[in-house]
């Protein structure tokens, strides 16, 4: 099977996450003002579509991986499943026993927690095999990734829909600026390292 490069995967995920953010900012808020039930359902699940696309890309990436990469994916997915399962079980028991009050909206955290656990574990496992990424030289530079994500978030804040003001808008601006700043710091560190290696 033709290899699916890390760079291809990352560009597609970045694009899908851009669409996801746009859906969350512009489409999803319309749910509350819509009277039609079918439209409500459609708008409600709209942000899930880019996420499903990302899952499809992840599956494609794993299928096109070599045996070592598949092993790292398997370990990372196993750990992610364990973390989400354990947290859900603990949360469920705490909720039933009345210690904490949880409603259905907590489910929104399942995907981010799972992806974070998967990413962190895979990074750790790959380090054991000698590198942070199996396709390190082919992946998007980390600083560019941060700059792009930060830039997109800032752009969305600048083009914010009406009704999004005050704290929420400030939060989006702050997040975008923070991610952008991290990108600048990472770029500067990389440049200093490269200069020290080739003076």
Partner 1 sequence: MNNLMRELRSERGWSQADLAQQLDVSRQTVNAIETGKYDPSLPLAFKIARLFGMTIEMIFVPGEE
> At closest approach, how far in Å is the CB of 1 from partner 1?
8
Q: What is the token pair recorded at 79?
A: 């750990």
Question: Where are the extended beta strands (E) located within 106-189?
Answer: none
Interatomic CA distance for residues 105 and 90, integer angstroms:
16
List all residues 6 or more positions away from 161 whose beta carbon is below 8 Å from its beta carbon: 25, 26, 29
Site string for partner 1, 7-36 (x = CB under 8 A): ------------------------------
Q: How many residues bind partner 1 (CB under 8 A)?
A: 16
Site string for partner 1, 81-120 (x = CB under 8 A): ----------------------------------------
Q: Is 165 in the site for partner 1 (CB under 8 A)?
A: no
Interatomic CA distance for residues 175 and 146, integer angstroms:
11
Interatomic CA distance for residues 40 and 45, integer angstroms:
9
Q: Is 59 in the site for partner 1 (CB under 8 A)?
A: no
Interatomic CA distance for residues 122 and 145, integer angstroms:
18
Angle, helices 6-22 vs 48-63, to 10°: value is: 170
Closer residue to partner 1 in complex, CB, 59/159: 59
Site string for partner 1, 64-83 (x = CB under 8 A): -xxxxx--------------
> At closest approach, how far in Å is the CB of 198 from partner 1?
20
DSSP 24: I
Site string for partner 1, 127-146 (x = CB under 8 A): -xxxx-xxxxx---------
Residues that bind partner 1 (CB under 8 A): 3, 65-69, 126, 128-131, 133-137
């Amino acid at each position: 099977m033709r290899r699916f490069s890390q760079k291809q995967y990352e560009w597609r995920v970045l694009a899908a996450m851009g669409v996801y953010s746009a859906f969350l900012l512009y489409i999803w808020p319309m749910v509350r003002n819509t009277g039609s039930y079918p439209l409500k359902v459609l708008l409600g699940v709209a942000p899930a579509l880019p996420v499903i696309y990302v899952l499809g890309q992840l599956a494609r990436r794993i299928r096109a991986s070599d045996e070592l990469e598949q092993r790292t994916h398997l370990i990372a997915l196993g750990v992610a499943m364990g973390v989400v399962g354990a947290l859900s079980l603990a949360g469920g028991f705490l909720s039933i026993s009345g210690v904490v009050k949880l409603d259905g909206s907590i489910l929104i955290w399942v995907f981010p927690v799972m992806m974070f656990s998967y990413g962190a574990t895979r990074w750790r496992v790959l380090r054991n095999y000698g590198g942070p990424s199996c396709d390190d030289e082919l992946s998007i530079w980390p600083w560019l990734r941060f700059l792009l994500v930060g830039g997109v978030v800032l752009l969305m804040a600048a083009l914010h829909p009406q009704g999004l003001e005050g704290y929420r808008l400030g939060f989006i601006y702050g997040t975008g600026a923070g991610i952008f700043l991290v990108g600048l710091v990472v770029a500067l560190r990389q440049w200093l390292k490269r200069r020290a290696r080739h003076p």
